[in-house]
């Protein structure tokens, strides 16, 4: 199955955890980068 029923089974592991810098739940575990403040990628904050 590739359609709608199988979409619910996709997210098993954690994608985002709490960011060390901004405290939001936006730090991507595999990319090692925060989606909110840019921690891990840039030295400067993105907000």
Name the least confident of 5-9, 13-17, 21-25.
5-9
Q: Using the Cα atoms of residue 24, residue 14, residue 8 and residue 38 in order, give the sign of their dihedral.
A: positive
Residues 20-44 pLDDT 10s? 999 999 999 999 999 999 999 888 8
Look at the block and give the residue holding tokens 């936006």. 26
Look at the block and give the residue holding tokens 């595999």. 30
Q: Delineate the domains of the chain, giving CATH numbers in brackets.
A: 15-47 (2.20.25.30)
């Amino acid at each position: 199955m590739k359609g709608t029923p199988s979409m619910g089974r996709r997210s098993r592991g954690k994608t985002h955890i709490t960011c060390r810098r901004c405290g939001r739940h936006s730090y991507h575990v595999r990319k090692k980068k925060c989606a909110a403040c840019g921690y891990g990628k840039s030295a400067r904050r993105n907000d």
